[in-house]
Amino acid sequence: MTPPVRWFLSLIGNLIALTAAFGLLARYVPPQVFWPPAIIALLLPGLLVLTAIYALFALSRRHWPGAMLPIAVILFSIPVLDQLFAWPGGDERDGAVGPTVTFVTGNQRLFRSYDGKDVDHNRVADAFRSFNPDVALLQEVRPAKNRMNYISSIQAAERLDQRHQKEGTLVATYAGSVQPVTSSFTEPNEYNGYIVTDVETALGTVRVINAHLESNQISGLADNIQEDGSYSNRLETFGHMLTGYGRTSRLRAQQAEDIRTAVETSPYPVVLGGDFNDVPSSYTYNQILSPRLKDAWVARGRGLGTTFTGPLPGLRIDYFLVDTSLSVVSIERLSPNWSDHRPLRMVISR
């Protein structure tokens, strides 16, 4: 390999490693202080893979100076690797002991199919029967005042007789017995936020927090970038995407702090689920993940666990975070059906 080629590869490899290091800052730096790392965090799994590949390449060529930064970045990433690339250990893999409770969470995208038409009610009812949950945490579902609200279709599943949904909002928790506790939504449209519900289960009372954190609204912008003809229009749209992501990441950080307080003050075991609109390497995720909670996908899932199938695929933005007093028996991703989010189905026990 000629010196110019080696120099060029070293430059590219170290630039990738430096970008990955910048993305790793997202989990530590509040977006209110500095938000650009939050954008890079979206690409972090791929950046770390490329960094590791270049580090191995440099070591195989005995190019020690070129390998130093990539190796340092990989070492710095160790605390977040199990969140990005889940590989469960043996502590929760012996199956359930005693009663179990099944939870499902999913962003339903207003029950509209990809062609913009309302999904058939029977299809929704069949899907929820197949999910067979004891508790369902749903986001982007129509309120009761909407004529096409799908409430009866959801309640066609067993054990989902009762519903907690603040009037006019799009977040709802279904179970056999619900006791509303509180709710918090972003004004003025109250589209994003969370609800807190005490649910009676076979494991006793569980405090369920159903979250749909501030939407990035960058999926539509990503579609516009592809559709905009001129370079200047695409560049302008991309600029709007970046500034919008900065604004929404700050709002999610505040919501995360509020949810963390709700978790830490709960008198009952907590199950937190929903659409966080942020990745595991984000400040939002790490702020919510208090010492009282564990990530169910990290505990029992395998691999990236991506849940978003839209214009920016490959993202894990839907979660179950579970009280450490509870055991995760299993967790799986379900078919996306009509939504651009894959639902999660989780079974827990004591």
Residues 16 and 157 in one domain: no
Window from 28-42, 100-114, 226-240, 262-276 with minimum mean pLDDT:
226-240
Indicate whether 104 and 73 sit together in one domain.
Answer: no
Judge whether 244 lies within some domain: yes
Q: Answer yes or no: do 144 and 204 share one domain.
A: yes
Q: Which of 49, 84, 119 is the last residue of a domain?
A: 84
Same-domain check for residues 272 and 183? yes
Using pLDDT thresholds of 50, 70 and 90, give the confidence band for residue 115.
confident
In a domain, 92, yes or no: no
Helix (H, G, I), strand (E, B) or coil at 330: strand
Q: At 145, which CATH number?
A: 3.60.10.10
Per-residue pLDDT of 305-330, as tens digits, reads: 999 988 777 899 999 999 999 999 99
In a domain? residue 196: yes
- In the structure, what pLDDT confidence band is assigned to residue 216 with cuts at 50, 70 and 90? confident
65 half-sphere exposure, CB direction, 13 A CA radius: 5
Q: Is the pLDDT of residue 116 over 90?
A: no
Mean pLDDT value across the chain:
91
Specify the range with the lowest mean pLDDT, choosing from 20-29, 205-214, 232-241: 232-241
User: HEC profile for 130-190?
Assistant: HHCCCEEEEECCCCCCCCCCCHHHHCCCCCCCEEECCCCCCEEEEECCEEEEEEEECCCCC
Question: What pLDDT does residue 188 have?
Answer: 85
Residue 205's domain comprises 100-349
115 in any annotated domain? yes
Co-location of 8 and 56 in the same domain: yes
pLDDT at 236: 59
**Is the pLDDT assigned to residue 78 strictly greater than 90?**
yes
Predicted pLDDT of residue 98: 87
Q: Kindly tell me if the per-residue pLDDT of 240 is higher than 80.
A: no
Residue 314: inside a domain, yes or no? Answer: yes
More confident residue, 337 or 322: 322
Q: Is residue 40 part of a domain?
A: yes
Number of domains in the chain: 2
Q: 17 with 161, same domain?
A: no
Query: Looking at the domain assignment, is residue 183 inside a domain?
Result: yes
The reply to whether 68 and 104 lie within a common domain is no
117 assigned to some structural domain: yes
Statement to judge: residues 276 and 155 lie in one domain: yes
259 shares a domain with 117 = yes
- Same-domain check for residues 70 and 195: no
- The domain boundary residue, chosen from 36, 55, 84: 84
What pLDDT is stored for residue 313 in this prediction?
A: 75
SS3 content of the chain, % helix, strand, coil (to 5): 40, 25, 35
Q: Extract the runs of DSSP E, i.e. beta strands, from the chain.
A: 100-107, 135-139, 162-164, 171-175, 178-185, 193-201, 204-212, 270-275, 293-295, 318-323, 327-333, 344-349
pLDDT of 55 above 90: yes
Single pTM value for the model: 0.91
Per-residue pLDDT of 262-316, as tens digits, reads: 999 999 999 999 999 999 999 999 999 999 999 999 999 999 999 998 877 789 9
Provide the pLDDT for residue 95.
54
Residue 314 φ/ψ region, left for φ over 0, alpha for ψ in the -120 to 50 degree band, beta for the rest: left
Assess whether 162 and 118 both reside in one domain.
yes
Same domain for 152 and 60, yes or no, is no
The mean per-residue pLDDT over the stretch 37-45 comes to 93
Query: Which of 18, 53, 84 is the last residue in one of the domains?
Result: 84
More confident residue, 132 or 224: 132
Res. 101: pLDDT tops 90: yes
